[in-house]
Structure 1
């Protein structure tokens, strides 16, 4: 008989997953591999004891007869015994191999309810920090002079249009008479401006109108990050931590209170990553179901529709429809999907898993992501297609009318016009190198070395404002919450080295893929005019990587089912070496510093932390509390700088911690 494998399949309740890959709060999902699970089928056969092994020796007269009878019995037993070798795997065994919880497992109702309570709480904090005083200042600031007016033109002319001289002051006062019907050369897609204009259609042409939708997008980003964290960790405390830190971040706050495009990249980019995680859960649950009852080295099952991957394609198309920087996230997500699919086939020992994953499934993943994203992107230009006056619309027809050959004549004129428009846009972006006082290098972005100033009015504009001295200012500077950003930098190193590399914890790649797709590409453009405020696109990843590392340090981040850590923990519980009244193992740094020698005395409710109290690490909880308190203090002190309140020059100067902030 094959060696018994039940020991390694017990006590795996650390992460979600039902057969459909549903929401962990509702009863399922998955968390991926973290090392070999030790569940390979046994190859040894059970031995049959000979008759001569009896405690009573046979008589000499019957020895020959007994030997013959024993030989015949051995032959019969050998014929009836099952052959040695691999056995069929059950669906639950396959789910464990793939980092999923068993079928039918569900998150406790109290934990699910508390997850939604903390989501509502951080949404309220985000609403307060983004909506209070949103209409101040009532003038156009920074690039609102472009995006707000373009948004109005889109809604009323159907295409971005030129404005006559003096339009900024008139528009800020609600006067749109300076709008013309002449097309304007714009170098970004249209979706973000459609969203900004929606607010003006509801609230009118005023500062509240052109800022309300970016503010709502900022609130939704906080909510989405909390739900993504809840799915990854199944801990309401960690979900609330991630949402709170994002709700209090200065980059996220300032760019939710101004009519810029980059905040929408943060929202749709995070939505893309969320859909990616949901697809990973769904596809692995389906793989386990399809291979139920099969042997190792079985052919990979046929591909499925994978609705969450299609949703990721739609979301990535929306991201690209805000700014072209979304293209890099599309590429990064596409590579990660193929890697995850290939590793899943390897995990279940599918036949020709590498070729099947990279080629067959890789092509399928491409078709579910890239064409969908392209269709969504092109559809975002619908208004440009139907308005003949739009910039470059009719370009091919004009060349043909002059008797000249039309480049790319194999394309329909409308599509060819759009391609030519995009060529001019690309030339603009790659050649943008004019000096700007707030341009910055991506080398300093993670430390917030050179924040962007959005608003600095002249002294006469502050006349009538309450000022205790004769020198007051009202500045809006996009400075991140420094305790969060600076703590996230070592957390990033830990996430890459300890979680993603050493422990093979797939959850670390959720924020890391946003760094790869939305941060690293900017190093290709060091000679271009770029700004720190672009970091709003990946600030959710900054917060999430810090949250995951703090969750690991505090013991609230449980091991991935089927991982080496999960197996060791299950065996430790069975042996009684860990559990209630015993110290929980620490990492090398905490162990070196002397933590974990004694059992914890903390008693926190499991329905909030997501783990039993014996698993908590007091030093990790203390570190988390220090960072949260520091973030709250920083947010309260820098709130006037984030929202343009009138303050004394001395107050402002004290808050410029680094010379590069001035």
Structure 2
């Protein structure tokens, strides 16, 4: 038996060569390398997404008119198309959101006219592109094309993004732009580390205790543009600016520490935070203002000429251009409208939900319902047609353990991949707890869906194992993942009738409503 002693290792003498027990810098891993295979798989999964999103896109309608909140955005999109790019008539509906989403809807209406195809076309394109982005982002996060493809398949069969991709509403655009922004930041992270590795290899890392300057970071600039478009779709895009800004700074600190910069925190403060504020705050603000180009150039835009009419021309802020003051006044009225939609003021909706129900989809949203003798096609005397916004339970009901595991991996293992996904999820979720008294609906959770899918795909990637694992371990992991993905697809197929308004019997309709809160 080996004797245990109190002997301590002798410290190396001065001048002795010390061999590090591990690498001094991270391995040269700056993204997946199977580019051709990656794009083939990405485009195949995206094509499947397009088929599901575009098939029978014009069905159903309410006697040829929009359904649910399409009744606001489809007419406003049409007025954008026919009214010089701006919705200037509140009689068309509540002009309470920035213009980008309605401008995108207008593109579809320009192509197909004022019909279901027209006011839903842009949403279907956005939903399809969202799948493509999730495949590429998860592939880069996991360094695995297979795991990226799994993420894409899961998003295809997610009921929330599926339904949102087939209706002319705004939330799918918000999800698209925020996910695109995250994707830009992930590529920026890898690019910064690649530049840092080159500087280290050239022996220039110690030329300054602050570390090197990183040069122009076009991907981070692109993230700023995407965040500006997100804010130009819905104001909740502002939350992502704050969360993604912190994420970008955290990436920079981690990169400088990983490559041995002597003062990584100070280096980030001096070298990176200023450009980050420009790219992720100034650029989004500029893009947001640019989305109002038609409003600025119009004579009939809502409150366009508020200065001198609703508000005075003098005062403390008289130096601000009148157009910007008018937009500030207009935005204030919109904020007042949203703030007034509170439960305490008696504004209650039968399908309202609060944020704590969103992660598991406990209170879905009924978008469309028809029954009676005029509804046929189910083989029975009476039929039901319905569209419900439901997160596929096989995924959404696992939200809490998946998010818990992601948090554990972030805090304990310091896994940047899970931290990245959690940041996006938190930006879409946590801010809503600050205004619990206002009306809220499950379609606000559309922005959660891509980040939930990303986290779930990363977990499945861990179950799959790595190439270093034994063949039996990999085979067992692959079997488990295939069975789970098959279960999710089967769950989606079961819900298909109430996601697409297929005629079904009242009995089958009741069988589809699994929880009392779904009724």
What is the number of residues matched between the two proteins?
497
Whether 1:476 and 2:387 are equivalent positions in the alignment is: yes
Shift of 1:207: 0.8
Whether 1:160 and 2:87 are equivalent positions in the alignment is: yes
For residue 517 of structure 2, what is the aligned residue in structure 1? 660
Shift of 1:263: 0.2
Describe the SS at the equivalent of 1:503. Answer: coil
For residue 446 of structure 1, what is the aligned residue in structure 2? 359
Larger Rg: 1
Q: So what's the TM-score if we normalise by structure 1? A: 0.71
Whether 1:364 and 2:302 are equivalent positions in the alignment is: no
Question: How far, CA to CA, are the matches of 1:314 and 1:442 in structure 2?
Answer: 28
Shift of 1:358: 3.2
For residue 413 of structure 2, what is the aligned residue in structure 1? 503
| 1:481-510 alpha-carbon deviations (Å, 9 max, x no partner) | 11111234312111110x212221111122
For residue 174 of structure 1, what is the aligned residue in structure 2? none
| 1:122-175 alpha-carbon deviations (Å, 9 max, x no partner) | 2122122211111111331110110000011111113214377xxxxxxxxxxx
Return the match for 1:492 from 395, 403, 407.
403
For residue 302 of structure 1, what is the aligned residue in structure 2? 213
Whether 1:101 and 2:55 are equivalent positions in the alignment is: no
Whether 1:517 and 2:432 are equivalent positions in the alignment is: no
Question: How far, CA to CA, are the matches of 2:35 and 2:335 in structure 1?
Answer: 47
Question: How far, CA to CA, are the matches of 2:12 and 2:81 in structure 1?
Answer: 70
Q: Which moved more, 1:382-391 or 1:523-532?
A: 523-532
Asked whether the 8 Å contact 2:209–2:263 carries over to 1, the reply is no
Q: So what's the TM-score if we normalise by structure 2? A: 0.90
For residue 4 of structure 2, what is the aligned residue in structure 1? none
Asked whether the 8 Å contact 2:232–2:291 carries over to 1, the reply is yes
Q: 1:113 to 1:388 in 2, by over 3 A?
A: same
Q: How does 1:44-63 map to 2 (within 5 A)?
A: none
Q: How does 1:422-433 map to 2 (within 5 A)?
A: 422-433=331-342
Question: How far, CA to CA, are the matches of 1:160 and 1:394 in structure 2?
Answer: 15
For residue 132 of structure 1, what is the aligned residue in structure 2? 55
Shift of 1:116: 2.4
Asked whether the 8 Å contact 1:298–1:349 carries over to 2, the reply is no
For residue 316 of structure 1, what is the aligned residue in structure 2? 227
Question: How far, CA to CA, are the matches of 2:293 and 2:416 in structure 1?
Answer: 39
Shift of 1:618: 4.0
Question: How far, CA to CA, are the matches of 1:348 and 1:631 in structure 2?
Answer: 42
Q: How does 1:146-225 map to 2 (within 5 A)?
A: 146-158=72-84, 159-162=86-89, 186-225=95-134
Shift of 1:346: 2.3
Shift of 1:461: 5.0
Whether 1:455 and 2:312 are equivalent positions in the alignment is: no
Describe the SS at the equivalent of 1:519. Answer: helix
Q: 1:404 to 1:346 in 2, by over 3 A?
A: closer
Whether 1:624 and 2:481 are equivalent positions in the alignment is: yes
Asked whether the 8 Å contact 1:86–1:295 carries over to 2, the reply is no
Q: Which moved more, 1:217-226 or 1:115-124?
A: 115-124
Return the match for 2:259 from 325, 348, 351.
348
| 1:439-476 alpha-carbon deviations (Å, 9 max, x no partner) | 101111111100001101353652xx224223311000
Question: How far, CA to CA, are the matches of 2:53 and 2:398 in structure 1?
Answer: 24
Q: 1:239 to 1:384 in 2, by over 3 A?
A: same
Question: How far, CA to CA, are the matches of 1:204 and 1:219 in structure 2?
Answer: 21
Question: How far, CA to CA, are the matches of 1:340 and 1:456 in structure 2?
Answer: 47
For residue 39 of structure 2, what is the aligned residue in structure 1? 116
For residue 530 of structure 1, what is the aligned residue in structure 2? 440
Asked whether the 8 Å contact 1:265–1:322 carries over to 2, the reply is yes
Question: How far, CA to CA, are the matches of 2:279 and 2:119 in structure 1?
Answer: 35
Asked whether the 8 Å contact 1:246–1:252 carries over to 2, the reply is yes
Unaligned runs of 5+ in 2: 1-10
Shift of 1:630: 0.9
Q: How does 1:242-391 map to 2 (within 5 A)?
A: 242-291=151-200, 292-294=202-204, 298-391=209-302
Q: How does 1:638-657 map to 2 (within 5 A)?
A: 638-657=495-514
Asked whether the 8 Å contact 1:473–1:648 carries over to 2, the reply is yes
Question: How far, CA to CA, are the matches of 2:431 and 2:491 in structure 1?
Answer: 30
Shift of 1:478: 0.7
Question: How far, CA to CA, are the matches of 2:168 and 2:275 in structure 1?
Answer: 38
| 1:379-427 alpha-carbon deviations (Å, 9 max, x no partner) | 0000000111101111113257xx7745621211111101111111122
Whether 1:411 and 2:320 are equivalent positions in the alignment is: yes
Question: How far, CA to CA, are the matches of 2:161 and 2:146 in structure 1?
Answer: 21
Asked whether the 8 Å contact 2:371–2:385 carries over to 1, the reply is no
Question: How far, CA to CA, are the matches of 2:52 and 2:173 in structure 1?
Answer: 17
Asked whether the 8 Å contact 1:484–1:627 carries over to 2, the reply is no
Q: Which moved more, 1:513-522 or 1:351-360?
A: 351-360
Asked whether the 8 Å contact 2:211–2:256 carries over to 1, the reply is yes
